[in-house]
Amino acid sequence: MQGLFITFEGGEGAGKSTQIARLSEYLRAHGEDVLVTREPGGTPGAEAARHVILSGAAESLGPAMEAILFAAARNDHVEQVIRPALQSGRTVLCDRYIDSSRVYQGVTGNLDPQLMHAIERTAINGLMPDLTIILDLPAEIGLQRANVRRGTDVADRFEKETVDLHAKRREAYLGIAKEEPKRCKVVAADRPIDAISAEIAAYVDEVRALRKTTPAAEVVK
Ligand SMILES: Nc1ncnc2c1ncn2[C@@H]1O[C@H](COP(=O)(O)OP(=O)(O)OP(=O)(O)O)[C@@H](O)[C@H]1O
Ligand SMILES: [Mg+2]
């Protein structure tokens, strides 16, 4: 049976890495074979693209170029890692996926929605997440957390951006959740870690229970 594909979204410092670690522990304790991966990255080709994007080298080339770089990385990651893992029955937890592109490049990069849509379709080739957890946090708190964690290291190009921009992205994530309420669950991230992971585990259990009652033909991508 095809594994579950769960993606984590939200701004910097929202708690994605923390909650992915929690959920993978929870699922492994229930005997599931879990693969944790992240975007941009996850394969040697995609990690190379990640380096180009996050170092700022692609910034001067413009948002379309950047979006296409992300998509190239994503397609490699999907076909080399995510799809094969799901097909062999593993649960895949992915740190950022299509919604990050929609929000970061689509909304704040002012790209043509039709171009964004075409790029997304090419990148994922039908592989939509079964569940997307959107960790929702006021921008100021996320930036504070990212700063504390970073200590004296230099900020990457996304972390240097303003609180205003982060607030716009937050709204964009909430907009996606409104449009796709079945796939996307918004989880308030400004709470104790345990409370958040309990809520996420409940959503995952719900999807797993649904999956057990759905004929296999409907879940094969
Ligand atoms: N619920 C929480 N309450 C307080 N602090 C938290 C909470 N969850 C995570 N943190 C802390 O906030 C910081 C950022 O968390 P984390 O790395 O999980 O976020 P992230 O979404 O993965 O960030 P990034 O997008 O930068 O990778 C870490 O120092 C983490 O320990
Ligand atoms: Mg992280």
Q: What is the pLDDT of residue 30?
A: 94
Element of type H or E holding 184: strand 184-188
Whole-number Å distance between alpha carbons of 75 and 72? 5
In the reported structure, the alpha carbon of residue 217 is separated from the centroid of ligand 2 by a whole-number distance in angstroms of 34
Q: Which ligand is nearest to the CA of 19?
A: 1
Tell me if 18 CB under 6 Å of ligand 1: yes
Q: 146 and 13 in contact (C-beta within 8 Å)?
A: yes
Helix extents (H) in the chain = 16-29, 44-55, 63-77, 83-87, 98-101, 113-124, 139-150, 163-179, 193-212, 216-219
Q: Which ligand is nearest to the CA of 9?
A: 1
Q: What is the pLDDT of residue 221?
A: 47
Positive or negative, the CA dihedral 123, 91, 138, 50 is negative
Q: What is the pLDDT of residue 152?
A: 59
Q: What is the pLDDT of residue 70?
A: 86
In the reported structure, the alpha carbon of residue 167 is separated from the centroid of ligand 1 by a whole-number distance in angstroms of 17
In the reported structure, the alpha carbon of residue 14 is separated from the centroid of ligand 1 by a whole-number distance in angstroms of 5
Q: Taking ligand 2, which is a single-atom ion, which protein residues have CB atoms under 5 Å away?
A: 16-17
What confidence tens digit (pLDDT) does each residue in 39-67 have? 878 899 888 888 888 887 777 888 888 88
What confidence tens digit (pLDDT) does each residue in 98-130 have? 999 999 877 766 788 898 999 999 999 999 999
Could you say which residues of the chain have pLDDT below 70?
108-109, 150-161, 214-221
The three-state secondary structure class of 34 is: strand
pTM: 0.90
For the chain, give the number of residues.
221
Indicate the fold that domain 5-213 takes in CATH.
Rossmann fold (3.40.50)
**What's the start-to-end Cα distance of the chain, in Å?**
11
Q: What is the pLDDT of residue 129?
A: 98
